[in-house]
Amino acid sequence: MSAFSRLWYRAPLWRLCLYLIVPFVALTFVFPPAYLTRRLPRMAQIATAIHHRLGMQDTPADADQAGGGNPGDGVVTMMPMTDRLTKAIPFAGRILPLPAGVWHPIINVIEGPHGEVLENVLVRVQGHIVTGLIVASGTTQPVSAAANPAMDMECHDDRNYMSHISASHPPVTECWLTRLVDPASISHMNVIASRLKEEGIVLPPVLLRANWINTTPAADDSLNAETVTIYLNPVNANETKILRSPDFWTKEALAQQPAANDFVKRMNTWMAGWAPVLHDGFNSDMLASSEEQRARLSLDPAAPRPGEANPLD
């Protein structure tokens, strides 16, 4: 056995670090930040070649797709929706834990004048109906702290079913919340709806939103941030399938709708347990919980039931 081989087998921690680093390095070549492609034009060519080989399509992000801002601020990459993602994925140099079930990528977006923000959109499907949608947005380098007030407003909104602001990780600002959402207001919905329609997949008339927001101060009045928004389908079960109008799911109407109220309570309980897992992923510290714990905590109330078909499989 060579000296290198002996070092490899005697250094399991080093090997573990290598296993964790390699996916992020690969992701950088697939989705390089704009500031890197400007400094290293060859990297943009490599990324384009990889996208073509994987069947992905790159298009400039318009103002609507990018959630506002100037046209050309970002690039939308259409992802192969047949890809199957489970448990967790690398995201913005960190780890994004995934709720239960199989998730399929729809689009990735690189935004900002220097490519500071990466956004991933994933979908979970059962019987040609969306059971869950994830829109995750994370900084790949510090951004202006001016973005923080909008996050604070979300956490204190009276329309939330429930919200929780964590004081256990100062100076980090962390909160999670749940509420009803208008599907038309979801970021990039024009692109999402078009991709789902192509696959014969139906968006439900009602979606509930669970948000997790985390910001960490950086130098020069800037911050690192991540927002994970999980949209759940509450009308895909016998108990709630007749409650197909958002009017049944407003905060004020829940007292008159026991089935809707029960679903919201279960969503609140689930998000309270899932938020710490998202926190660990933000810090790339998945060893803080066991795989068994994460599997149990990942079971949101809209998770597909075992044995039911997924049209993208």
Q: Summarize pLDDT for 144-201 with one digit per residue, the tens.
A: 877 665 666 888 899 999 999 887 666 778 999 999 999 989 989 999 999 999 999 9
Query: pLDDT tens digits, residue range 45-93?
Result: 465 455 445 445 555 444 333 333 333 446 899 999 999 999 999 999 9
pLDDT at 37 over 50: no
Cα–Cα distance measured from residue 105 to residue 118, given in angstroms and rounded to the nearest whole number: 14
The closest alpha carbon to 186, from 218, 141, 233, belongs to 233
Q: H or E stretch including 52? A: helix 41-54
pLDDT category of residue 223 using cuts at 50, 70 and 90:
confident
Position 94 scores a pLDDT of 95
Mean pLDDT of the chain: 81
Q: How many helices (H) and strands (E) does the chain have?
A: 8, 12
Contacting residues for 49 by C-beta, under 8 A, at least 6 apart? none
pLDDT category of residue 16 using cuts at 50, 70 and 90:
very low
DSSP helix/strand/coil, 155: helix
pLDDT category of residue 248 using cuts at 50, 70 and 90:
very high
Helical residues (DSSP H) of 156-310, grouped into ranges: 189-198, 258-282, 291-297
Is 162 or 116 the better-scoring residue by pLDDT?
162
Phi and psi angles of residue 83, each rounded to the nearest 5 degrees, phi first: -65, 140
pTM over 0.85: no
pLDDT category of residue 13 using cuts at 50, 70 and 90:
very low
DSSP helix/strand/coil, 181: strand
Position 64 scores a pLDDT of 37
Q: H or E stretch including 96? A: strand 94-97
